[in-house]
Structure 1
């Protein structure tokens, strides 16, 4: 079976999607602040693209070559509960609004899977560690998403939420 990553068109599409999303977030008054600070990391959109690609069945570039970890990502967003509750739906909309510009194939099943993944990741794991970065374990598994939703990674489906 084809992965979501493959169906979307591979890394080039995810790189364009991350860049288009980033630009939309910069133009949004609520999302501008955190995304304007992302420019302090010149490879922010490449890292975001690699993260999405890996989570959706692509190569392990984010956790491998880029040295990223799920724990690091969760620590970046820990303690932002109220902000994330308001910002997450707007972030999801920025991603969805970027599909055409990024060249995401006009396939309803694919676009729904991407939308479901971004919604789940923005409203689930990123809100799970609401108090502090100190609450985030060091060894969180990279979440995986397939056509049926969160896929098992070293534990039950959706294993990135706190116990």
Structure 2
């Protein structure tokens, strides 16, 4: 579904609307829509200096929030660990000046501490833009979501509780850990 929305796959029928207006080729509108795919999208040879310049985002604000990047400004993207690469990509997507951001599996490759930072960033940035997040870490998604939907049998189902997730075949509550970790 995300690949269709962002234009990577061509469906037989499609319609994207923003504020009730039909938008053809929304993926070609960098002011409107930005997409974080599951795999890394930044070319490995680019330096962080170049990446932040291309995204028109201030590196100092990123460095202040994540001081472990202080010495990486002139480093290439490939010099970072997978978790650092993922964090950087998520930060850039969330801080981009767009109306809508799509995040596909943003919590992959991240430590629990970084997941909490990302969740805080999502909550903060949703004041500035619409954010659609897909991830299998449903507890983290439930923590940050205004509305939670499960895609099942080609339909979206509004989900309010863990019982709804079980009813839709997404999880089995009997297999949930007792300590909620």
Q: TM-score, normalization: structure 2?
A: 0.28
Q: TM-score, normalization: structure 1?
A: 0.30
Highest CA radius of gyration, 1 or 2? 2
Higher relative contact order (CA 8 A, sep 6+): 1
Name the one with the larger helix percent: 1
Name the one with the larger strand percent: 2
